[in-house]
């Protein structure tokens, strides 16, 4: 009998409308940006958004890291499996975001701020790299009072899996703490993503406070290195970082899984209940088929969670993540292919196993 997954997955992040454009290195230099990074906009970055619209072939795309992830997961899951929380304005951009979610059959539970515009994210594409500059606006006004309202908390109680990005530490740490503790107290699965290097750098205390409750932690290699530095591990070896994070103290007896992607190179997986670290090769996407890499990490988590919710083995979850990430890098922007998406395990996908 198939599982009942209605409302099983709840996610939190900043819903943002992406303004995406292919640019040159001069624009990055003008605004002090790196080619492959994610930052919050400050005063000097605000003109950038209009510059992309006025001077470049800008495209408007539905975004926000966890909303992208839950859209992808929902495309692979039975209708009604996922619910997304975040804050938006009462404007056309909010309707664009909701429309994209509706197309994927993703249910949204937005906190609406009528006096703030919906947040935006500038995506500057150079080659296969992307630099992200987020202007949160309404998104940063998400408040714990929204989720703790009885009509909204019932979604938390109904869910069995939770996914929150590290970006949310800057917005509503109270929400993260409440959901993490609820998951722990009710033997549910709480997952997070490091999201960007600045999260580990500037929110170290919050990361350390939350880590005991995290059952699965996602990140990429640069985020892993930033976390290693923040936790004073004194190593840049991704496998060692993954294992040391997995072995950090836990609030309960459930093992912790740490998953670090490394683009087209490999994915590293460590667990607190094993001395071995698994390294999964990535099937490369032909260069001529690549649109850009924006959204690949979000798609990886989407593929992983879609299989994990269905109790599939970790090898299959990782393979699904690689597959869906590969689908997204063939698009321009954080988009999923049109038409039905269906993952079929190869039956031959297996990691190299190492001790660290």
What tokens does 150 get? 């009885």
Q: What is the DSSP letter of 287?
A: G
Q: Which of 18, 57, 115, 298 is catalytic?
A: 298
Q: Give the list of residues 6+ apart from residue 120 with CB closer than 8 angstroms, or none.
A: 16, 17, 18, 19, 49, 93, 134, 135, 137
209 phi and psi angles, rounded to 5 deg: -65, -35
What tokens does 168 get? 């949310």
User: Ramachandran region of residue 230, left (φ > 0), alpha (ψ -120 to 50) or beta?
Assistant: alpha
* 152: enclosing H helix or E strand: helix 150-158
- C-beta of residue 98 within 8 angstroms of C-beta of residue 137: no
- C-beta of residue 52 within 8 angstroms of C-beta of residue 18: no
What tokens does 323 get? 């597959």
Q: How many residues does the chain have?
A: 356
End-to-end Cα, the chain, rounded Å: 40
The Cα–Cα gap between 167 and 45 comes to 18
What tokens does 247 get? 């072995």
Q: Is 24 a catalytic residue?
A: no
What are the Cα distances from residue 45, in Å, to 31, 32, 101? Answer: 7, 9, 28
175 closest CA partner among 196, 149, 200: 149
Supply the residues annotated as catalytic: 298
């Amino acid at each position: 009998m198939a599982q009942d997954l209605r409302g099983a997955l709840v996610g939190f992040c900043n819903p943002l409308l992406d303004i995406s454009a292919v640019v040159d290195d001069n624009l990055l230099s003008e605004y002090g940006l790196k080619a492959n990074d994610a930052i919050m906009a400050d005063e000097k970055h605000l003109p950038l958004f209009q510059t992309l619209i006025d001077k470049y072939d800008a495209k408007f795309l539905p975004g926000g890291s966890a909303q992208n992830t839950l859209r992808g997961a929902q495309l692979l899951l039975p209708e009604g499996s996922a619910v997304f929380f975040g804050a938006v304005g009462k404007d056309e951009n909010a309707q664009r975001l909701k429309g994209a979610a509706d197309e994927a059959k993703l249910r949204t539970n937005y906190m609406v701020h009528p006096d703030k515009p919906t947040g935006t994210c500038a995506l500057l594409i150079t080659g296969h790299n992307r630099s992200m500059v987020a202007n949160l606006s309404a998104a940063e006004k998400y408040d714990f009072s929204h989720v703790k309202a009885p009509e909204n908390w019932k979604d938390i109680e109904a869910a069995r899996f939770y996914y929150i990005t590290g970006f949310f530490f800057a917005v509503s740490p109270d929400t993260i703490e409440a959901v993490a503790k609820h998951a722990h107290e009710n033997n549910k699965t709480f997952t997070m993503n490091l999201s960007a290097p600045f999260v580990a750098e500037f929110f170290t205390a919050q990361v350390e406070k939350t880590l005991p409750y995290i059952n699965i932690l996602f990140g990429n290699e640069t985020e892993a290195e930033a976390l290693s530095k923040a936790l004073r591990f004194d190593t840049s070896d991704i496998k060692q970082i993954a294992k040391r994070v997995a072995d950090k103290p836990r609030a309960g007896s459930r093992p912790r899984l740490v998953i670090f992607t490394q683009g087209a190179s490999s994915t590293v997986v460590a667990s607190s209940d094993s001395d071995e670290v698994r390294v999964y090769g990535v099937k490369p996407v032909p260069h001529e088929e690549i649109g850009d890499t924006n959204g690949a990490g979000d798609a990886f988590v989407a593929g992983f969670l879609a299989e994990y919710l269905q109790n599939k083995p970790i090898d299959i979850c990782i393979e699904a993540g690689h597959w869906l990430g590969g689908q997204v890098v063939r698009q321009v922007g954080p988009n999923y292919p049109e038409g039905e998406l269906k993952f079929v395990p190869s039956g031959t996908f297996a990691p190299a196993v190492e001790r660290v």
